[in-house]
Amino acid sequence: MAMMQMLAALGGTLPPIEVEYLVIAGGGSGNNGGGGAGGYRSSISGESSGGGNSAESSLILDRGTTFVITVGAGGGGNGGASSFSTLVTTVGGGAGASKRNDGNAGGSGGGGADSSSEAVANGGSGTTNQGYSGGSDIKAWYCSFLDRAECLTHAGGGGAAGQGGSISTIESTSGGNGGDGVASSVTGSSVYRAGGGGGGAAGSAGLGGGSTANLGGGGNAGSSGGSGVVILRHLNSELPAASTTGSPTISVVGSYRVYVFNGTGSIRF
């Protein structure tokens, strides 16, 4: 019998447990500009976190403590925040701009849409180490007094791994693509999460993250963002969690036990 199982059987005190996490907020909605992806923070070894950051440090957690998990909803505006107790929090994605406005700031920023002022319509800013800014729209001055087809073309929202696509020429009739998401294999197969939403256009709309639940993607033009997710894992040689609420999906992937929370819940190790 392994040492920790022996301690548990004898009523002894178990040592703390090392836990890795992936916490993604809900994505912002797409309006004319694409929605920004939810903020992305990860300590999964060998993988990237959001905003160009490397994996964060894992957590050393006391057993017997209950940790509350919150999963952010996809935005009908900005996305909702996700968190693992007070230890890790991510910011909801910024909503894409309606016509003639800048995108909203967020975990990743929403895309800009042509404005009525003689200035570029800017993408919303992303949150440091969580996501990138939305794309900008250069046609602000041109579209302030015209309503041509190219004035219906707007920028993409930012993603966890890249800035939203900007509209850089007056003649463009394609919407800006959403910024790239981050690929993670924490659940077994590689999945891209937290991609920015594509900007709208009279011609072809930009490609983007979309509204799929629990991926944290920014909404494409005219659609809501996707809800977030909280994923935890520890070595399978450790004792499993003593209790959970919120019905997480629990599986063994390689040498790790993985807990996927698609909604609010709790865990006690």
Q: Which residue has the higher pLDDT, 142 or 136?
A: 136
Residue 98's pLDDT band, with cuts at 50, 70 and 90, is confident
Q: Which residue has the higher pLDDT, 145 or 226?
A: 226
Q: Which residue has the higher pLDDT, 34 or 208?
A: 34
User: Nearest to residue 132, comparing CAs of 66, 212, 52?
Assistant: 52
**Calpha distance 244→253 (Å, rounded):** 19
Whether 203 has a pLDDT exceeding 70, the answer reads: no
Query: Could you tell me which residues are beta bridge partners of residue 40?
Result: 24
Q: Which residue has the higher pLDDT, 202 or 27?
A: 27
**Calpha distance 138→85 (Å, rounded):** 41
DSSP state of 5: H
**Calpha distance 225→103 (Å, rounded):** 14
- What's the alpha-carbon Rg for the chain, to the nearest Å? 20
Residue 1's pLDDT band, with cuts at 50, 70 and 90, is very low
Q: Which run of H or E residues covers position 76?
A: none
Region 66-79 average pLDDT = 95
% of the chain beyond a pLDDT of 70: 87
Q: Which residue has the higher pLDDT, 11 or 68?
A: 68
**Calpha distance 184→159 (Å, rounded):** 14
**Calpha distance 142→236 (Å, rounded):** 59
Structure tokens at 122: 């800017």
Q: Which residue has the higher pLDDT, 137 or 8?
A: 137
Whether 223 has a pLDDT exceeding 90, the answer reads: yes
**194-222: burial string, b at 16+ Cβ within 10 Å, e else:** bbbbbbbbeeebbbbbbbebbbbbbbbbe
Contact residues for 109 (Cβ-Cβ < 8 A; gap 6+):
36, 94, 103, 123, 124, 125, 126, 131, 132, 133, 134, 157, 158, 164
Give the least confident one: 28-37, 168-177, 183-192, 201-210.
Answer: 201-210
Contact residues for 58 (Cβ-Cβ < 8 A; gap 6+):
18, 19, 20, 21, 43, 45
What's the pLDDT at 9? 47
Instruction: Classify residue 263 as exposed, middle or buried by CB count within 10 Å of its CB (0-12, 13-18, 19+).
Output: middle
DSSP state of 116: S
% of the chain beyond a pLDDT of 90: 69
Place of tokens 């996707």: 226
Whether 204 has a pLDDT exceeding 50, the answer reads: yes
Whether 39 has a pLDDT exceeding 70, the answer reads: yes
How many residues comprise the chain? 269
Give the least confident one: 6-10, 44-48, 222-226, 245-249.
Answer: 6-10
| Contact (Cβ atoms closer than 8 angstroms) between residue 137 and residue 39 | no
Residue-range domain boundaries for the chain: 13-80+93-244+257-269
- Whether pTM > 0.75 for this model: the answer is yes
Whether 2 has a pLDDT exceeding 50, the answer reads: no
What's the pLDDT at 138? 76
